[in-house]
């Protein structure tokens, strides 16, 4: 059996962070389960924890996008699905 997808994600986002200095991670209290805490350990100034305030996280991502950084938001899959179904602009 191979590595869990979330473990691979945690490793990949750290590698991308090393390669691209303008990548940030915005988290909604899922860092432990999706392994984005690895990014936080390596690049604490590029890791933003928004807690369970997903709407605020999207607003933060929009503001960061306007200022230049490439962001990755980690939302619950249910919220991701809702955003995709109701607003294709998030795709």
Split the chain (91 residues) into runs of 10 and give each run's mean pLDDT: 82 89 84 87 91 82 76 49 47 44
- Residue 71 is predicted with a pLDDT of 57
Q: Is 91 exposed, middle or buried (0-12, 13-18, 19+ CB in 10 A)?
A: exposed
- Residue 36 is predicted with a pLDDT of 86
- Is 42 an active-site residue? no
- Residue 88 is predicted with a pLDDT of 47
- Which ranges in 1-91 belong to alpha helices (H)? 5-19, 31-34, 37-42, 54-67, 77-86
Asked whether the beta carbons of 26 and 1 are under 8 A apart, the reply is no
Q: Write down the catalytic residue from 11, 37, 42, 54.
A: 54
**Cα 7 from chain centroid (whole Å):** 14
Among candidate residues 12, 38, 16, the one with its CA nearest the CA of residue 27: 38
């Amino acid at each position: 059996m191979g590595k869990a997808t979330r473990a691979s994600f945690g490793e990949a986002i750290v590698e991308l962070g090393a390669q691209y200095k303008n990548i940030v991670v915005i988290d909604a209290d899922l860092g432990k389960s999706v392994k984005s805490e690895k990014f936080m350990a390596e690049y604490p100034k590029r890791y933003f924890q928004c807690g369970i305030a997903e709407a605020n996280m999207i607003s933060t991502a929009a503001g960061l996008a306007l200022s230049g950084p490439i962001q990755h938001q980690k939302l619950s899959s249910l919220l991701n699905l809702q955003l995709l179904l109701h607003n294709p602009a998030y795709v």
